[in-house]
Structure 1
Amino acid sequence: MSVIILGIESSCDDTSAAVIKDGVLLSNVIANQAVHESYGGVVPELASRAHQQNILPVVHEALKRAGVKKEELSAIAFTRGPGLMGSLLVGVSFAKGFARSLNIPMIDVNHLAAHVLAHYIKEEGEESVQPQYPFLCLLVSGGNSQIILVKSYKEMEVLGQTIDDAAGEAIDKCSKVMGLGYPGGPIIDRLARQGNPKAYSFNKPHIPGLDYSFSGLKTSFLYSLRDWIKDDPDFIENHKNDLAASLEATVVDILMDKLRKAAKQYNINQVAVAGGVSANTGLRNAFHDHAKRYGWKIFIPKFGYTTDNAAMVAIVGYLKFQDKDFASIELPPYSRVTI
């Protein structure tokens, strides 16, 4: 009998639902929230209200596209955390009510682990090459920068992580300082393709071990801009491509330096990347470069699986379903937790 999992993701500002049947993705629907753009960041109260409006139509559309009736579902997987508490409550509450009405199990999913395990999503008609355990995963997003040793789908160890800002957060803040808008990541990426990555140099942190730090880079970028603008008030407008390219190159260099050390230290050549920043062109190019130089077998997610989506939640749900690892109806969401 087929195993059909409905995944629900509502950790931040994207409401998403996906259906996976026997490990193969049938649908993945995402409703974005444009309301936050004018605020330069996600407003938690507005996010939770938008989730309440979006969740029913998104789930309905996911089931419709998958050609699946709700009575055919085997279980409902949902993001339990980490994330914004108000947003999580909407998804968790809906999952509880829907699962109880259908009398089927619930499966709680760690949002960070879901990003890592997005590499196991299969699509119909496509050949899927998946990482073999153990492998390293660089998880980079607006809120996280971590190097993770993945021993199995349920056993992961964080080898290093940021001690302050995440890589995506630093890029967004530097973009904001330049007056480029929000979210900054895609804007910096686009401008960087037309700029010189060696035009400017910014401070790189000297953090022991495999941990990261990006606050110093952010400060160096801010102070450098301040000095350059004194001499040329139009400096940013006249040099934004080179600034974006140099900023991106610095962030990528910091990320890859620690990842190389981890791969050497643990003698692992299977290396994956995940999270929102994994959509960055410079970082993807660096992965391909390291595959050639160091013999890495690399795994880079499709663009649709880099940002928050329910397909990654559903695949974790499918894996946990095999072990009958179900959640209690009493489980509350959590805003902060590690893998």
Structure 2
Amino acid sequence: MNVLGIESSCDETAAAVWKDGEILSNIIASQSIHEQFGGVVPELASRAHHKTIWKTVQQALVEAEISMNEVDVIAVAQGPGLIGSLLVGLSFAKGLALTYQKPIIGVNHIDAHLYANFIEHNEVYPFVGLIVSGGHTRLVYVKKAFHHEVLGETRDDAAGEAFDKIGKILGLPYPAGPVVDMLAKEGNPEFHDFPRSMINKGLDFSFSGLKTSVLYYTQEKGEEFVQQNLNDICASVSAAITDVLVAKLRRAVKKKDVEHVMLAGGVSANSMLRKKMNKLSEKRGLNVMIPALEYCTDNAAMIAVTGALKAREGVFDDLSLKPFSRVG
């Protein structure tokens, strides 16, 4: 089965082709225009999608060496995300479905981050998944495909959002998460003990207090001190965030008594988090799955593989498919 995946939920225009358990192409057109604003500007994002989506899909088909006539299913990100951006991808996918008489499947972007693990790992259930991205931090228990139980989620800032906002406080370019990670590799994670909110309580998350703590700390110490100790501050921030993530995940694993664990979302690319997950795997004897770096951030391969799973389950949509901005 050839599945064409299309992703346009935020500021990445992406297309990919999945065929019988293998990704044949995975094209991502990134938008650099948002850097000057320190965050994604929705109107600019949707305009950029309009300009690049057809070329991106064409490139994915060419690289996969298939034509639209050979595509069996079109899978498209339905949400959550920016409505304007989602509408571009959905409208384009509907146009293709109508023109070539192909079935269409709407894909939950957050689900897709989880199922991106099945691009390179065997499909296993049940599992506990930790989804960590710029917009979401959520723990889920998945008994079987598309049967999710939310165990915990953020009460304020998501982990990725915290990285970006703290990076802005430190004077780092947007998106700051990868830069914080890079600098943290050369720093001392024990340089400063930033707060680890709710680490010993429940399965929900809270990162806004950490952001405020970093703000007050940098204001007290001054710009010169911050720049001289930037690596150590980044390492200490990374340690605080990842300690909370792993502690909550460990608690969820114990609660559900599972042996399979998945990490997903853009923050799953964080090197400190990956090391701590590997240590958790060794210590607890868990099967920990983490996507390859190219499948951590927004991409269409994860949309295509999730579309293939939904097609296998016989779950299809029609042209009345509508976008949604928030996760339920």
Task: Read off the aligned partner of 1:322 and give its amino acid letter.
Answer: R
Q: Deviations over 1:171-228 (max 9, x none)?
A: 1111000101111111001100000000001122137421000011111111111111
Task: Read off the aligned partner of 1:24 and give its amino acid letter.
Answer: E
SS in structure 2 at match of 1:180:
coil
Q: How do 1:225-304 residues align onto structure 2 when only pairs under 5 Å count? A: 225-229=218-222, 233-304=223-294
| Residue 243 of structure 1: how far off its partner (Å) | 0.2
Counterpart of 1:317 (choices 301, 307, 328) is 307
| Residue 269 of structure 1: how far off its partner (Å) | 2.1
Match for residue 195 of structure 1? 187
- What percentage of residue pairs aligned between the two structures are identical? 50
Asked if 2 retains the 8 angstrom alpha-carbon contact of 1:29 and 1:61, the reply is yes
Match for residue 10 of structure 1? 8
Counterpart of 2:102 (choices 96, 101, 104) is 104
What is the distance in 2 between the residues matched to 1:6 and 1:131?
20
| Residue 323 of structure 1: how far off its partner (Å) | 2.6
What is the distance in 2 between the residues matched to 1:205 and 1:235?
25
What is the distance in 2 between the residues matched to 1:244 and 1:38?
22
Counterpart of 1:56 (choices 48, 54, 57) is 54
TM-score (norm 1): 0.95
Runs of 4+ in 1 over 6 A off after TM superposition: none
SS in structure 2 at match of 1:76:
strand
| Residue 294 of structure 1: how far off its partner (Å) | 1.4
What is the distance in 1 between the residues matched to 2:202 and 2:18?
39
Asked if 2 retains the 8 angstrom alpha-carbon contact of 1:144 and 1:162, the reply is yes
| Residue 163 of structure 1: how far off its partner (Å) | 0.5
Task: Read off the aligned partner of 1:68 and give its amino acid letter.
Answer: I
Counterpart of 1:87 (choices 85, 88, 93) is 85
Counterpart of 1:33 (choices 17, 31, 34) is 31
Q: How do 1:62-211 residues align onto structure 2 when only pairs under 5 Å count? A: 62-121=60-119, 128-206=120-198, 208-211=201-204
* CA-based RMSD: 1.0
Task: Read off the aligned partner of 1:205 and give its amino acid letter.
Answer: S
Task: Read off the aligned partner of 1:328 and give its amino acid letter.
Answer: D
SS in structure 2 at match of 1:234:
helix
| Residue 309 of structure 1: how far off its partner (Å) | 0.4
What is the distance in 1 between the residues matched to 2:142 and 2:105?
20
What is the distance in 1 between the residues matched to 2:260 and 2:310?
23
Q: Deviations over 1:265-298 (max 9, x none)?
A: 1111211100000000000000011111111111
Match for residue 322 of structure 2? 332
Task: Read off the aligned partner of 2:310 and give its amino acid letter.
Answer: K
Task: Read off the aligned partner of 1:22 and give its amino acid letter.
Answer: D
SS in structure 2 at match of 1:143:
coil
Asked if 2 retains the 8 angstrom alpha-carbon contact of 1:78 and 1:92, the reply is yes
Match for residue 218 of structure 1? 211
Asked if 2 retains the 8 angstrom alpha-carbon contact of 1:210 and 1:262, the reply is yes
What is the distance in 1 between the residues matched to 2:114 and 2:251?
20
TM-score (norm 2): 0.98
What is the distance in 2 between the residues matched to 1:206 and 1:226?
25
SS in structure 2 at match of 1:256:
helix
Equivalences, count: 327
Asked if 2 retains the 8 angstrom alpha-carbon contact of 1:117 and 1:153, the reply is no
For structure 2, the residue ranges without an aligned partner over 5 or more in a row are none
What is the distance in 1 between the residues matched to 2:204 and 2:85?
29
Asked if 2 retains the 8 angstrom alpha-carbon contact of 1:131 and 1:270, the reply is no
1:307 aligns with 2:300: no
What is the distance in 2 between the residues matched to 1:206 and 1:324?
41
For structure 1, the residue ranges without an aligned partner over 5 or more in a row are 122-127
| Residue 131 of structure 1: how far off its partner (Å) | 4.8
